[in-house]
């Protein structure tokens, strides 16, 4: 008989201290529901992407192309990139996790900004590294604060640009200054999930910096402007050496065949993307202006969402969220980001946008 005591399996140190990512609410009872909590496309997916997805139904018994060549080539054509520097994944979330898995371990540090995407600290902690938070200014990432926190232990910097949930962004000049201030061994991860929505002359998603560097990666997603969130599809543009590393550790068939087909079609449907941009530009401006007329503060955004601030003495975001939910309007609570008195509002359909404005007027005025 064994002398060892029977014990339950234990995860690696630090895993149980991770706060799981909690997505926004999806529904409410008794109403027509407008889900405005997840920054999803109000236009749905392009008909061309839907047709490509449906065409794969007869081939579900077959493994997908493990290299996702068709998709990588479509992305490369669209942006003028080298296809072998593109790595595709199950959403940009998987690629962020793979980057952390490849370059972070116990004793290492990784930096992200104060209101950065919550996946960053999860990916850092899951690999035994230490997350270092750089404070922001006016809900905007601060290059000097990030650089001030770089130490000999720093191996990675995560920066969402534009940032979720604030909607703010850094101009390309600031991104270049950040990169120039980092040691050559530190990987700068530019998460550009909302890049397609930004129409500012001083913005660049990161392609140019990746092309000229050995330590910069840009990640993108099909979940937002392309309307393919259910397929979990993303891509990263990397220096050759980093692409090689990610391809060594990713799953052999980490992107499904329907996702590859739909993604390639979506990438080539420029008309759909332009319609989505026009809709977003129009309604982002209307929503921001009308909400501020109501008397609520809104953080200026270049994404497809707005961060709305509620005075705590009037019940704060919790009371507003309860009221809106009762009206069938689902917004995103921001408590997990350290913003307990803010709600994030995704730009929705015209019907949804008008409904949320009417509800906020009834609630606040």
Q: How far apart are CA 166 and CA 307, in angstroms?
A: 6
CA distances 19 to 63, 90, 95, 272, Å, are 34, 21, 20, 37
How far out from the chain centre does Cα 205 lie?
A: 13
Provide the phi-psi class of 197: left if phi over 0, else alpha when psi is between -120 and 50, else beta. alpha
Size of the chain in residues: 365
Average pLDDT in the chain? 94
Q: How far apart are CA 145 and CA 37, in angstroms?
A: 30
pTM: predicted TM-score of the whole model, two decimal places: 0.93
- Report residue 296 as tokens: 């609520």
Over residues 221-272, the pLDDT tens digits come to 999 999 999 999 999 999 999 999 999 999 999 999 999 999 999 999 999 9
Over residues 295-322, the pLDDT tens digits come to 999 999 999 999 999 999 878 999 999 9
Q: How far apart are CA 114 and CA 336, in angstroms?
A: 12
- What 3-state DSSP class applies to 226? coil
- Report residue 159 as tokens: 């920066």
Strand-pairing partners, residue 137, are 140
Task: Tell how many helices (H) and how many strands (E) occur in the chain.
Answer: 12, 13
pLDDT band at 27 (very low <50, low <70, confident <90, very high): low
Question: How many other CB atoms are found less than 10 A from the CB of residue 55?
Answer: 13
Enter the CATH code of domain 24-45+271-364: 3.90.1150.10
pLDDT score for 148: 98
CATH 3.40.640.10 fits 47-268, yes or no: yes
Q: How far apart are CA 53 and CA 95, in angstroms?
A: 22
Q: Where are the domains of the chain?
A: 24-45+271-364, 47-268
């Amino acid at each position: 008989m064994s002398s060892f005591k029977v014990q339950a399996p234990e995860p690696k140190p630090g895993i149980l201290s991770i706060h799981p990512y909690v997505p926004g609410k999806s529904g409410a009872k008794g109403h027509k529901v407008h889900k405005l909590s997840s920054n999803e496309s109000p236009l749905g997916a392009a008909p061309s992407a839907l047709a490509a997805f449906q065409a794969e139904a007869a081939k579900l018994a077959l493994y997908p192309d493990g290299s996702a060549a068709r998709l990588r080539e479509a992305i490369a054509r669209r942006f003028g990139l080298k296809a072998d520097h593109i790595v595709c994944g199950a959403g940009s979330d998987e690629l962020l996790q793979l980057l952390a898995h490849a370059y972070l371990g116990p004793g290492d540090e990784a930096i992200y900004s104060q209101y950065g995407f919550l996946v960053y600290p999860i990916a850092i902690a899951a690999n035994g590294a230490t997350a270092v938070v750089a404070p922001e200014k006016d809900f905007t990432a601060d290059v000097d604060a990030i650089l001030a926190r770089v130490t000999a232990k720093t191996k990675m910097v995560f920066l969402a640009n534009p940032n979720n949930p604030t909607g703010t962004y850094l101009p390309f000049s600031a991104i270049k200054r950040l990169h120039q201030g980092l040691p050559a061994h530190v990987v700068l991860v530019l998460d550009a999930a909302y890049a397609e929505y930004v129409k500012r002359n001083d913005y660049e998603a990161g392609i140019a910096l990746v092309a000229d560097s050995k330590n910069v990666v840009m990640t993108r997603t099909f979940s937002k402007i392309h309307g393919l969130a259910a397929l979990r599809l993303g891509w990263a543009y990397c220096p050759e050496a980093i692409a090689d590393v990610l391809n060594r550790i990713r799953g052999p068939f980490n992107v499904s065949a329907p996702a590859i087909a739909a993604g390639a079609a979506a990438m080539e449907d420029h008309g759909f993307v332009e319609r989505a941009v026009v809709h977003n530009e129009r309604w982002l401006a209307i929503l921001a202006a009308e909400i501020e007329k109501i008397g609520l503060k809104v953080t200026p955004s270049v994404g497809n969402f707005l961060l709305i601030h509620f005075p705590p003495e009037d019940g704060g975001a919790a009371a507003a969220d309860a009221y809106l939910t009762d009206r069938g309007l689902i917004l995103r609570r921001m408590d997990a980001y350290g913003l307990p008195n803010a709600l994030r509002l995704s730009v929705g359909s015209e019907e949804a946008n008008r409904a949320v404005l009417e509800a906020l007027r009834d609630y606040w005025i």
